[in-house]
Amino acid sequence: MSDDTFENLEVWQDAIELAVRVYDLFRDCRDFGFRGQIQNAAVSISNNIAEGYERDSNQEFIRFLFIAKGSCGEVRSQSYVARRVKLMSEDDADNLIRDAKRLSKRISRFIAIRREKFA
């Protein structure tokens, strides 16, 4: 891989890890609608980072980073529901919420860096 690819972005790598964890946590979930929704939200994070990066425009990249950040919120929101309806344990929900918050903050910091760098 060359140095200038989205695959080298730590924020993208972290998003992939979060998506893999969501897939693992809901692998045996029989609520297929819910499972699909939270998996789609989790995968959307890394996909939007990648798509924005490939647009070759800092403004577009930042726009897609905000969409990715929104998907972090969606994963968190769905985790609260999953915990309440017993689709996941308290500990798993707490960990997923914590990790999604952490990723959201990292994306925010990355947005700030991109804005400053290309101002």
Instruction: With a cut of 60, say whether residue 1 has pLDDT above it.
Output: no
pTM for the model: 0.94
Total residue count of the chain as it appears in this document? 119
Write down the mean pLDDT value for the chain. Answer: 96
Assess whether pLDDT exceeds 70 at residue 3.
no
Widest Cα–Cα separation across the chain = 48
CATH 1.20.1440.60 fits 6-117, yes or no: yes
Q: What is the domain partition of the chain in residue ranges?
A: 6-117
The full DSSP string for 14-66 is HHHHHHHHHHHHTTT-S-HHHHHHHHHHHHHHHHHHHHHHHT--HHHHHHHHH
**What are residue 31's phi and psi, to 5 degrees?**
-85, 85
CA distances from 17 to 21, 86, 103, 104 (A): 6, 23, 10, 14
Q: What confidence tens digit (pLDDT) does each residue in 31-77 have?
A: 999 999 999 999 999 999 999 999 989 999 999 999 999 999 999 99
Tally DSSP H helices, then E strands, for the chain: 4, 0
Q: How confident is the model at residue 118 (pLDDT cuts 50, 70, 90)?
A: confident
